[in-house]
Structures are given as C-alpha cells and as structure tokens.
C-alpha cells in the first residue's frame, strides 16, 4: 500500500477513532490536570486537537496560498470532557471528508504548499501525539499505534532514525528519549511539498 493510501480520510477516521476509544472511558476524571509535559490541561489539549483538525480541513477546502484562513474553533468552556471528545470526532470527520473529496493535486498553505497527504499526516500526528499527552495527564497507559506512526514519520519526518515507529515519533516530537539520544528540545515537521 502506497504512503498516500495510508494518509487518507479513512486513516484520519481511524486515528480519531483510536483516540476516542482510548480516552472515552476516562471522561469522568479531572481533565484540568496538565496533559503530560504540556502547559495545557487535558481539556485544553483536546480542544486544541479539534481546532487543528478543523483548521487542516478548512485549509484543504479553502485552498489559501499564503497563510491560514482567519478562523478559530471555540469550544464552550462549560463543555465536559465527553463533549470535547465529540468535538474532536466531529472535526476529525470534517478533515476526513475534505480528504475524501479534494483532488490529489490540491495545494493549500502550511508553511508552504502542502498536499492532501501532508494534511492527513498532520491530522494523524496531532491526534496520536495529543492523545498520548492527554493519556499521560490522566495516568492512562497508551502508546500511538505502529502503522499510523510509521506513515506519519515517512511523510513528515524524512530524516527520522530507524526504530520502533511509536518510540521514534515520540522522540522526533520532543516527548521522549530514544535509546541513548536525549529528549529533543526543538523540532518541526515538513508538510510542504514545494
């Protein structure tokens, strides 16, 4: 299966489904605690994830060439954790629908011209990484699955070292050490194709 086929609307749906399956049983916990090592709470991190998924979808459908569209998602502050996860699922569904409908040649801005597979990879990466952050904050043992981690690494981190894809993805994004390699303090992914 080509990397582009693994970075699709279905792949985004699978990542978001994995996130809601992993976190859904814990919506009765305190989501005001920090999400892992982030400064954000678990609640804020989930709202941020929804915002990113929506933003990637609107970039694809709006196709701006020079910046992000001037919109933001606002999750009502009285929304409970289960409701925020429902917003994540809805926004993931919108990104997946955009990926299902735009032509492969579509380009939209994300620090340069980005193709649909780049937006899919970023949506999957945001979902896996922030699910990991929230799970750590809630003291839930969860790791990103290997197959989507590998697809994200190939598309966004072409310079990633060999190794177990979830461990490498966490290291590439400054969330963990990798063998004798210290934790990274700065990182960026490359989604633009031009």
In sequence order, the 6+-apart residues with CB closer than 8 A to the CB of 125 are: 152, 156, 169, 173, 189
Residue closest to 73 by CA, chosen among 99, 98, 100, 92: 92
pLDDT tens-digit series, residues 123-179: 999 999 999 999 999 999 999 999 999 999 999 999 999 999 999 999 999 999 999
Confidence of residue 3 (pLDDT cuts 50, 70, 90): very low
pLDDT at position 1 over 50: no
Q: Are 157 and 172 in contact (CB under 8 A)?
A: yes
* Residue ranges of E strands in the chain: 108-109, 113-114
Closest CA to 26 of 142, 183, 164: 142
With contact defined as beta carbons under 8 Å apart, do 124 and 11 qualify?
yes
Q: What is the pLDDT of residue 5?
A: 52
Prediction pTM value: 0.96
């Amino acid at each position: 299966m080509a990397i582009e086929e693994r970075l699709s609307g279905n792949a985004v749906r699978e990542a978001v489904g994995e996130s809601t399956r992993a976190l859904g049983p814990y919506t009765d916990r305190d989501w005001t605690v920090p999400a892992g090592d982030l400064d954000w709470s678990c609640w804020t991190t989930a709202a941020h994830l929804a915002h990113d998924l929506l933003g990637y979808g609107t970039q694809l459908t709006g196709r701006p060439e020079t910046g992000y569209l001037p919109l933001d998602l606002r999750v009502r502050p009285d929304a409970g954790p289960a409701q925020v996860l429902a917003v994540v699922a809805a926004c993931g569904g919108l990104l997946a629908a955009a990926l299902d409908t735009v032509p492969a040649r579509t380009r939209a801005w994300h620090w340069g011209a980005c193709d649909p597979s780049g937006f899919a990879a970023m949506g999957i990466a945001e979902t896996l990484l922030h699910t990991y952050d929230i799970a750590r904050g809630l003291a839930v043992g969860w790791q990103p699955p290997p197959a989507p981690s590998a697809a994200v690494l190939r598309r966004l981190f072409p310079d990633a070292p060999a190794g177990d894809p979830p461990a490498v993805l966490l290291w590439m994004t400054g969330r963990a050490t990798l063998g004798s390699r210290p934790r990274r303090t700065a990182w960026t992914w490359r989604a633009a194709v031009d």
